[in-house]
Structure 1
Amino acid sequence: MPDLLLELFSEEIPARMQRRAAEDLKKLITGGLVDAGLTYEGARAYATPRRLTLTVAGLTASSPDISEERKGPRVGSPEKALAGFLRGAGLTSIDDATIQTDPKKGDFYVAVINKPGRKADEIIAELVPDVIRKFPWPKSQKWGQAGEGALKWVRPLHSILCTLAVDGDVSEVVSFSVEGIESGNLTQGHRFHGKENFAVKRFEDYESGLKARKVILDLDERKDIILNDAKTLAFAQGLELVEDMGLLEEVAGLVEWPTVLMGEFEASFLDMPDEVIQTSIREHQKCFVLKDSKSGKLANKFILVSNLIATDGGATIVAGNQKVVRARLSDAKFFWETDLKTGLETRLYKLDNMVFHEKLGTLSARVSSIVTLAESLAPIVGADPALAKRAATLAKADLVTDMVFEFPELQGLMGRYYALALNEDPSVAEAIELHYKPQGPSDEVPTNPVSIAVALADKLDLLTGFWAIDEKPTGSRDPFALRRAALGVIRILADNDIRLSLRDIFAKARDGFAQSDDLMSFFADRLSVYLKDKGVRYDLLDAVFALGDQDDIVMISKRVQALGSFLSTDDGENLLAGYRRAANILRAEEKKAGTTYQGLVEGAHLHEEAEIALASAIEKARVAAQEAVAAEDFEAAMSALAILRAPVDAFFDKVLVNDEREEVRVNRLKMLTQIRQTTLTVADFSKISG
């Protein structure tokens, strides 16, 4: 069975696009092959800075012959209908069709269409140019003049290698052309260490030929080499690599033959925060920082990755990188010292000129709202209102510092460093850093009360603000990260076991806020996502929210989790079945009578032992469940409902609800209503699926 090898050779592909592009190439080509009737045993895609490569093994030599019947109009149909049938079936004359008889519909025409299979190389020669022309690059460029050469690709495409290898050494070029670029069997190695062309037949000699010419095809292999060599080089100096997997992915996409070297900078730069040094070196020079393996403190050395095998052992490359790193760190040190001299509070006036949103005003106005809300939240979360106010006042001040202007990803963190350096209370400094958190499902959640107050205020002000101007997330569009903000509020409240009414807080966050129900529904959706990750069913959340006035995240979570635990037991499962039976009977009878069966159960109309026992059990369960819910002991509330299980089962086994005596029938229907109302103490069982 043939093996396909495809290489698209170009100028440097941005590192951030390479892995996705390789997967897209694999998906588009293999998908097209399958759609054309070919099958294969396996496929793998690769990416280097200058090439995308795909190998497809065990490809069928041709697509199968296909024969299909296409039903046409009845015999005797108008000429226009017959002509349309002939065009669609590809027939030249109605005599080429056969006639079949349907006992009900009579005689009708049928076209038998035979499609012969196509050879794999023909399919590939048609598929690959189409994929190249329509390739989904996030960004691409168009070059060349109109007509030949007017091709859109991420960077100029130089050559296309496309071979189909069969048994042994037999291999053929799949011939096609894409805007003047002819396919062939030639490629080249490293730009400097193996740039001569060489011919290949199949993937094995292609991969080995590249490696011999200083190109490692596999991105993950390049990553492993960089990581292992960097650790080894650091260990030899008594140091430890500060791992950065995002940077590792990027650097591996910048080189085809990674060479790991070590550079050095002046120890005086270590007076700056570690994060400043690491960010400056990473962002400007794509280098890794090192730390002392014993003290854990940052060292004045760094790891760089070159794409060259230098004749001087890398001395010139290291010297060049050291020069750039020193310059960048000098800039960072200037920013650091200038920001310290200026302080945070003296920069707040600059927020007056920064528009947060055209309908919500300046960033200064937003800070004012956060301050007010943080003060209100402070007593609820156990924070000092004065410290919460101070932290909220300074929370956004570092946005106008020189350091954060240069490195926006350091916002919050730099505010903390500056606050500590200027002798602010440590809890204020911590709140400045953590008020953006959590920003993801695995991100840190603030636990200090001052940090909690400011983080909640920041997120709730954001949510109520955008709800007030009707700028809500729609579908996959959420430009202001409101889903993340709501999930952040939920995680802060749940992880810290903080009890509060969200609707009350909405009102405090924004006077006259009229979107409480809609925003609460949004929180319900986010809470559903949060609890689903913890293994809780969405319908249980619906069952609790259906009770109404549920706006305490901690209480909702506890109630839902207790309900889930109860329903996983035999008592819970059987009580749910009994509830559904009662509800179904009631629904039918209420529809028939056009009324509901409310009111107290009358003892005088209780005749059967099973119904007497059920009436007693309902009263006991109702009282116990109400008391447990009032005490917020939801496990006890579920246990209270559990005593209904046996009496309900016995009632339906031994008692006929629709008794001939009207007063007895109505009394029993009232008892079923009481079952429904008793379960409503803890949840709306009608919302529970399964």
Structure 2
Amino acid sequence: MTTLPFLVELGCEELPPKSLKTLAESFLAGIEAGLKQAGLSYDHARYYAAPRRLAVSVQHLALQQPDRTVHVDGPPVKAAFDANGNPTQAAVGFAKKNGVDIADIDRSGEKLRVSKHIQGETAVALLPHIVQQALDNLPIAKRMRWGASKVEFVRPTQWLVMLLGDKVVPTTILSQQADRITRGHRFMAQDERLALHYTNYPASLEHSYETQLEMAYVVPDFAKRQQMIIAAVEKLAAEQGGKALMPAALLDEVTALVEYPVPLVCRFEERFLHVPQEALISTMQDNQKYFCLVDNNGKLLPRFITVANVKSTNAKFIVEGNEKVVRPRLTDAEFFFKQDKKVTLESRNERLKTVVFQAQLGTVYEKAERISELAAFIAAQIGGDVALAQRAGILAKCDLATEMVGEFPELQGIAGYYYAQNDGEANDVALALNEQYLPKFAGDVLPSTKTGLAVAIADKLDTLVGIFGINQPPTGSKDPFGLRRAAIGLLRIIIEKELALDINVLSQQAVNAYGSKLSNANTVNEVFEFLLGRYRAMYEEQGITVDVIQAVQTLKPAQPLDFDRRIKAVANFRNLAEAEALAAANKRVANILSKDGVTVTGGVDNSLLSEVAEQALAAKVASLQTQLAPLFAAGDYTPALSALAALRAPIDQFFDSVMVNAEDAAIRQNRLNLLASLRELFLKTADISQLQ
């Protein structure tokens, strides 16, 4: 089969840097989907992405679709011909629609069928539509028009390259006629327009494309450009005696801003270092796209690295320009910090008395009062300092009224920590003001102090209870108060910090703190069910299978830590050789006990046990009830459930030789009681019958 490489490149005005990588990945996915749908085979494909271009390269693309036969089914044969064998209107219409004679229609099956041989189209004919469709399906939030054209795209288009081998694929897409002309670096390439050429030897089209553009100071490979940035920034940081902060999102954005990266070291005045470094880092990263430098202790250095898009013979002017631009932003942060420290953190609660948290739930200050009350209750439960938790709770939202958080919302909690320290608050109180928001994302750290734990749990639970209490739970993709994130954070804290807390008890305390504000009488139960549903997402991320999660969910343990112990026990049990047989036996027992008319009236009467197998099972169940009681009481489920594996043999023997539905009513009832006591043993941990 004849194949050739294919390259498509769409040139644009500067593409949005935050979405460049996503656009490129979607462009590649769209083209690959189109090729597969068209039946055009290929070896592999990859994307290129730079500020002014999106491109996809496909290797060893088939030049022709394979011929294929398509079968079209029509109306039932019985409806297509009358009793005399004459075609009805249904048959006539079907034949006409498919352009065949009735005599050529296959009627050997239940329905009429026409088989059509379709000759494969050429790749040249198919590629324009595939590329157009891929571009149409890009995840663009808002498309724009330019000039007098009605064409819409994320940015105005400038050129289009479409090469199959060394031949241009003739087409016009997004107002651009396909050609072989691309463009080099806007400033550094002497001749910005560049004609792409490909020869089979020695390089591939993919390699030719990269090489020719790199000679024109454009590194089209997003990943390669990013690695160049990382290597250069790390080298410069080491030379400055520090380490560069390179968050993934910022690194992607900077990579999307430059075609030819040139990292440069810049400085700022050391006097700014008395400002909370989080504020300085925030403004330099978010507003200026700089990589900040810290020392080995994580303390900010008065230097940063900017990545220029041009290689200058006088780089000092670029450095000076960036230093000049950043100075006013750092001055603003310094000013806000000084102004905020003129009044105490606690005094800002007066302003929060007029700031609405939620129309039906009152002000932010009222929320702080509830957090304070609930945090004190939780601190008592987990062995924390009640007074510190109460104090941290009442100060929890004060920094929302500061100038610093007003300018840098991402510093909520962090600003509170510094201002609490400035006011002489206890260290645990100051830490709790920041830790209340932890964890902020999946895998984030958890609060380190008991005061922080208490406030973090109280804050999340207060929001959950409040929103459910006014009947506004999350629906579908809408979750304006972030309740799903709050729920998983709450569960993570309780489980990973091994806190013996009961969700229903805490929820009731939160409900009580709201007084008469809540209209939903079923709030505690609905919050519990919502949290119960969050376990699945949380444990699936850890590789726990759905049936294990459901086996524990069925029992609805009220303590998250207890839930976690049961999950681990069932996951361990599932790997035992006896697990499959015992799960099946539990399912069988559950089915027997759930039948209409079946009731369990009490314990097992040993005098009614006549069969050897039922005597053996009853003895083993009774022995395990005594043996495992301390383990169940201590929540030590893993060894308890493993010990129940010993029931496999007596259960198998019981079902092989004992008739549960004996004619004698007393014997039948006693055997049902035995099965019920057996099932109850397993239900002390989970519903094993749920295991697949």
Could you tell me whether the CA contact under 8 Å between 1:352 and 1:362 is conserved in 2? yes
**Change in 2 beyond 3 A, CA 1:646/1:401:** same
Report which stretch shifted further, 281-290 or 571-580.
Answer: 571-580
Could you tell me whether the CA contact under 8 Å between 2:185 and 2:217 is conserved in 1? yes
Residues 593-672 of structure 1 mapped to structure 2, 5 A cutoff: 594-635=597-638, 637-638=640-641, 641-642=644-645, 644-659=647-662, 663-672=666-675
1:67 equivalent in structure 2: 69
Could you tell me whether the CA contact under 8 Å between 1:150 and 1:179 is conserved in 2? no
| 2:184 is aligned with 1:189 | yes
Residues 569-608 of structure 1 mapped to structure 2, 5 A cutoff: 569-570=576-577, 573-586=580-593, 590-591=595-596, 594-608=597-611
Which amino acid letter does the alignment assign opposite residue 334 of structure 2? K
Unaligned runs of 5+ in 2: 199-204, 513-517
| 2:523 is aligned with 1:546 | no
Could you tell me whether the CA contact under 8 Å between 2:583 and 2:691 is conserved in 1? no
CA distance in 2, matches of 1:118, 1:611: 73
- State the number of aligned residues: 668
CA distance in 2, matches of 1:454, 1:255: 44
1:517 equivalent in structure 2: 525
Could you tell me whether the CA contact under 8 Å between 1:624 and 1:640 is conserved in 2? no
Report which stretch shifted further, 561-570 or 190-199.
Answer: 561-570
User: Deviation digits for residues 9-34 of structure 1, max 9, x if unmatched?
Assistant: 01000111111111111111221122
Could you tell me whether the CA contact under 8 Å between 1:287 and 1:303 is conserved in 2? yes
1:440 equivalent in structure 2: 441
Report which stretch shifted further, 613-622 or 655-664.
Answer: 655-664
CA distance in 1, matches of 2:606, 2:237: 86
CA distance in 2, matches of 1:575, 1:483: 35
Residues 399-478 of structure 1 mapped to structure 2, 5 A cutoff: 399-478=400-479
Could you tell me whether the CA contact under 8 Å between 1:464 and 1:509 is conserved in 2? yes
| 2:154 is aligned with 1:154 | yes
Which amino acid letter does the alignment assign opposite residue 255 of structure 2? A
Could you tell me whether the CA contact under 8 Å between 1:272 and 1:333 is conserved in 2? yes
**Change in 2 beyond 3 A, CA 1:135/1:684:** closer
| 2:256 is aligned with 1:253 | yes
Which amino acid letter does the alignment assign opposite residue 115 of structure 1? I
CA distance in 2, matches of 1:680, 1:132: 55
1:488 equivalent in structure 2: 489
CA distance in 2, matches of 1:185, 1:479: 48
User: Deviation digits for residues 563-620 of structure 1, max 9, x if unmatched?
Assistant: 4334433455554444444445555xx54xx343533433433333333333333333
**Change in 2 beyond 3 A, CA 1:364/1:78:** farther
Matched residue of 2:62: which SS? coil
**Change in 2 beyond 3 A, CA 1:597/1:450:** closer
Could you tell me whether the CA contact under 8 Å between 2:107 and 2:113 is conserved in 1? no
1:168 equivalent in structure 2: none
2:201 equivalent in structure 1: none
CA distance in 1, matches of 2:261, 2:574: 57
2:564 equivalent in structure 1: 557
CA distance in 2, matches of 1:25, 1:535: 31
Which amino acid letter does the alignment assign opposite residue 167 of structure 2? E
Matched residue of 2:601: which SS? coil
Could you tell me whether the CA contact under 8 Å between 2:414 and 2:433 is conserved in 1? yes
**Change in 2 beyond 3 A, CA 1:538/1:109:** closer
Could you tell me whether the CA contact under 8 Å between 2:106 and 2:114 is conserved in 1? no
Report which stretch shifted further, 635-644 or 231-240.
Answer: 635-644
What is the CA distance between 1:86 and its match in structure 2?
3.7
Give the structure-2-normalised TM-score. Answer: 0.90
Which amino acid letter does the alignment assign opposite residue 195 of structure 2? A
1:531 equivalent in structure 2: 539
Which amino acid letter does the alignment assign opposite residue 159 of structure 1? W
| 2:316 is aligned with 1:315 | yes
What is the CA distance between 1:645 and its match in structure 2?
4.0
CA distance in 2, matches of 1:27, 1:439: 31
Give the structure-1-normalised TM-score. Answer: 0.90
Matched residue of 1:341: which SS? coil
Which amino acid letter does the alignment assign opposite residue 81 of structure 1? A
Could you tell me whether the CA contact under 8 Å between 1:144 and 1:151 is conserved in 2? no
| 2:516 is aligned with 1:508 | no
Match among 31, 34, 37 for residue 35 of structure 1: 37
| 2:292 is aligned with 1:324 | no
What is the CA distance between 1:151 and its match in structure 2?
1.3
CA distance in 2, matches of 1:600, 1:130: 70
CA distance in 1, matches of 2:153, 2:274: 46
CA distance in 1, matches of 2:303, 2:586: 70
**Change in 2 beyond 3 A, CA 1:674/1:260:** closer
CA distance in 2, matches of 1:296, 1:510: 42
Residues 347-362 of structure 1 mapped to structure 2, 5 A cutoff: 347-362=348-363
User: Deviation digits for residues 151-183 of structure 1, max 9, x if unmatched?
Assistant: 111111111111111xxxxx2111112354211
2:515 equivalent in structure 1: none
CA distance in 2, matches of 1:289, 1:608: 79
Residues 270-349 of structure 1 mapped to structure 2, 5 A cutoff: 270-292=273-295, 297-312=299-314, 314-349=315-350
What is the CA distance between 1:665 and its match in structure 2?
4.3
Which amino acid letter does the alignment assign opposite residue 98 of structure 1? D
Which amino acid letter does the alignment assign opposite residue 560 of structure 1? I
1:363 equivalent in structure 2: 364
Report which stretch shifted further, 42-51 or 362-371.
Answer: 362-371
Residues 379-390 of structure 1 mapped to structure 2, 5 A cutoff: 379-390=380-391
What is the CA distance between 1:410 and its match in structure 2?
1.4
Root mean square deviation, CA, Å = 2.6
1:98 equivalent in structure 2: 104
| 2:4 is aligned with 1:2 | yes
User: Deviation digits for residues 86-123 of structure 1, max 9, x if unmatched?
Assistant: 4531x1x636x504453x86xx8653423222111111
Which amino acid letter does the alignment assign opposite residue 491 of structure 2? I
Could you tell me whether the CA contact under 8 Å between 2:63 and 2:123 is conserved in 1? yes
What is the CA distance between 1:542 and its match in structure 2?
3.4
Matched residue of 1:187: which SS? strand
User: Deviation digits for residues 299-353 of structure 1, max 9, x if unmatched?
Assistant: 22221111112232x1111111111112211111111111112332222222233
CA distance in 2, matches of 1:489, 1:645: 38
CA distance in 2, matches of 1:584, 1:133: 54
Which amino acid letter does the alignment assign opposite residue 116 of structure 1? Q
2:48 equivalent in structure 1: 46
| 2:174 is aligned with 1:176 | no
What is the CA distance between 1:214 and its match in structure 2?
0.6
Match among 94, 97, 100 for residue 88 of structure 1: 97
Could you tell me whether the CA contact under 8 Å between 1:98 and 1:109 is conserved in 2? no
Which amino acid letter does the alignment assign opposite residue 150 of structure 2? A
CA distance in 2, matches of 1:625, 1:270: 61
Report which stretch shifted further, 22-31 or 571-580.
Answer: 571-580
**Change in 2 beyond 3 A, CA 1:287/1:682:** closer
CA distance in 1, matches of 2:194, 2:578: 74
What is the CA distance between 1:653 and its match in structure 2?
4.3
